[in-house]
Every structure is written in structure tokens, then in C-alpha cells.
Copies of this chain bind each other. A is one copy, B any other.
Amino acid sequence: MGRTSEARERLLDAACDLMRGRGYGAIGVAEICERADVRKGSFYHFFDSKQTLTVEALRAAWADDGAMWREVLGADSGPFRRLKRLVEAQAEAQQRSKREVGAVRGCLYGNLTLELGNQDEVVHGCLKEIFDEQVDLVHQVLLEAHAGGDLVAERATRASARAVLAQVEGMVLFAKLDNDPALLDGLWPQIAGLLGVA
């Protein structure tokens, strides 16, 4: 039992790691098995297809990332301080990637969204759920800022939360393009500008 669930975990980790670096289309089941040190026959014991594995891998990644988001955004400090901390954590993730593998690999969810669009309905549906939850979490903080008198009502919207995350995703794209996480240093002032709270 222990070994079995370990093999499954290794497949999920390997898929995440490979896709973070090279996307969906460029990665095959054989390569995922090799990286995970699992035989191809065993792969199909756990997953129907690369698609099924990808959805599970995305969910596992967001289980970790989302827990961090909730912890940071639920901390005991002012709403903008928490939002700033979340934005800094995104920049730190790209710095870590550069340090560890030599490349700013970007955001796994953003990478797959732009690569796949709605070509693959199942993966696309999973990405939509993850981003919807991200938008909800940021929206919640904006509502708190509004309740505390720190944000006007028209900026405490879901659209505004999406705009904040769009700035993060867009700047991560440029950081990946230039392979330079320092491009993310200016993210918080940009987002404060977007929210009109400079």
C-alpha cells in the first residue's frame, strides 16, 4: 500500500515538475514515468491518461498553493498588507525557480491556460476552477478593505480582483520572457495603482 501510493505521488510530482518547465503538449507519459521512476504499466493502474493525471496534478498543486494563499490572506494584519504579502510570495516563487533550475518557469496554471485554451475541456475546466477560487480569495480581501474604509466600493469587485491577478500573471509572463524575476519587484506599487490606493 505504502509503495503504491508513493508511486502515485511520484507520478503527480513528476508531471507537475515537467509541465511547470515545458508545458502540456511537449510532455508524454513515458517521460513522466521515467522521471517518477514508475513503470508505464503502473501508470495506467493509477490514471486513464495524461489528461486525467494532469487534472489530478493541478489539483494537488493548488491544494498546496491554495493553502498558502489562504494562510497569507487570512493572516492577522490589514487587508492590503496581506495582499502585498501574497504578491511578494508570487515573486519569491519565481526567484526560487530561477535559483533552483536556472529558469523563471512562470505560473503553472497560467502557462497551461495560454497553451491549451479550451482545446482540452477537462483540463480547461480544472484551470477555470482554480482561477475562480483565486479571484474569490482576492475579492474577499478587497471587500474587507472596503468594509474598513480603505477601498472605494467600485474597486472592491470581482472584476477588480481579476485585474489584480491579471497584473501578476502578465508581469510573470514578462519575467519568464526575460528570465528575470527582478521584473516582479515593482508588482505591488502597480497593483496599488490599479486599486487606486497608492
List residues of chain A with CB under 8 Å of any chain B CB: 21-26, 103-106, 110-111, 113-119, 124, 127-128, 131, 159, 162-163, 165-171, 173-174, 176-179, 183, 186, 190, 193-196, 198
Contacts and interface: CB of A to CB of B under 8 A. Distances in A.
B166 A174 contact: yes
Number of copies: 2
Contacts of A169: 169-170, 173-174
A112 to B, nearest CB: 8
Nearest to A176: B117
B117 A106 contact: yes
B159 A166 contact: no
A109 B176 CA distance: 13
Contacts of A115: 23, 25, 111, 114-115
Contacts of A162: 171, 174, 183
A171 B167 CA distance: 8
A186 B167 CA distance: 13
A177 B111 contact: no
Contacts of A119: 21-22, 26
A177 B106 contact: no
Nearest to A24: B25
A170 B111 CA distance: 11
The 9 closest A-B pairs by CB, nearest first: A25-B25, A166-B170, A170-B170, A115-B115, A169-B170, A114-B114, A166-B171, A25-B26, A111-B114
Contacts of A106: 114, 117
